[in-house]
Structures are given as structure tokens and as C-alpha cells.
């Protein structure tokens, strides 16, 4: 049983690593094809933009919490979230900001220059959705009547 758990745990950390590397590979290709980069020194929607050290510390704390949860509950959703968080943290450490490159359609009509995000942000959102789905599904399975 322990061997199965360790194999699942390694697989989850492998998914996290792959998710982080996917951000860097996709961004490199996109920039090569002409995508424009924008720097976000803050967290979501530029919050804490004037305090990059605090944003970096909170990112590291969030990643540590995700990795702790992943070590206890190896789930693909947590792994994908951890990979996205790791990619964003690496950006903060290397560049002082997260580098966004995917334009949000029509946002330039509301905000000068428009809004941008990166693949790591998508990974965090999809991972959170997968975790929520699993929690809701488990709750529904636990509450369904047992057939005799």
C-alpha cells in the first residue's frame, strides 16, 4: 500500500513540474511568434503591485501550502495548481514580476492596454476547479443512500 502511495505522490509532483515547464515553453513559443509580454509585479489583477517583496513572499507561502497538501493528498488538481504557482514564483524571483502574455479579449475596451494573463494562471484556475469538482463529487457520493 505504501508503494502505491509513493508512486502516486511522485506522479503528482511530476505533473506539477510538467505544468510549470509548460508555461515557460508555451511563453517562449508565443514570444517567438510575436506575443507581447507585460509585467505584473503584484498578485491577481495587480494587487500589491507596489510591494513586490510581499507579493513574492505570499506566492512562496501559497506554493509551500500547495506542496504540503500535495504531499498529503496527491491529486492531479493540486499538482496542476502547484505547477502554475511554481511557474509564477520563478518569474517573480527572476524578473521581479510575473510575465503575462495572453491577451484577454475585448479588455482593451475597458482598460487602457487591456488585461493579460499567462498559462500558469490558467493552470491555477483549472487545478482549483478540479479540486472543487473532486470535493463536490465526493460529498455527493458520501451523501447518496447505500443500496443493500
pLDDT tens across the length of the chain (148 residues) = 565 555 567 788 889 999 999 999 999 999 999 999 999 888 876 778 788 889 999 999 999 999 999 988 889 999 999 999 999 999 999 999 999 999 999 988 998 888 899 999 999 999 999 999 999 988 777 666 665 4
CA distance 19 to 130: 14
Structural contact between residues 66 and 78, judged by C-beta atoms closer than 8 angstroms? yes
Amino acid at each position: 500500500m505504501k508503494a502505491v502511495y509513493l508512486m502516486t505522490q511522485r506522479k503528482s509532483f511530476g505533473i506539477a513540474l510538467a505544468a510549470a515547464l509548460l508555461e515557460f515553453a508555451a511563453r517562449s513559443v508565443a514570444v517567438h511568434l510575436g506575443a507581447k509580454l507585460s509585467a505584473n509585479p503584484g498578485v491577481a489583477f495587480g494587487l500589491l503591485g507596489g510591494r513586490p517583496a510581499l507579493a513574492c513572499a505570499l506566492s512562496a507561502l501559497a506554493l509551500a501550502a500547495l506542496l504540503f497538501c500535495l504531499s498529503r493528498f496527491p491529486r492531479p488538481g493540486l499538482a496542476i495548481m502547484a505547477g502554475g504557482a511554481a511557474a509564477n514564483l520563478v518569474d517573480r524571483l527572476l524578473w521581479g514580476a510575473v510575465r503575462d502574455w495572453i491577451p484577454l479579449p475585448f479588455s482593451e475596451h475597458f482598460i487602457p492596454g487591456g488585461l493579460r494573463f499567462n498559462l500558469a494562471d490558467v493552470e491555477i484556475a483549472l487545478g482549483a476547479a478540479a479540486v472543487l469538482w473532486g470535493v463536490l463529487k465526493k460529498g455527493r457520493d458520501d451523501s447518496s443512500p447505500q443500496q443493500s
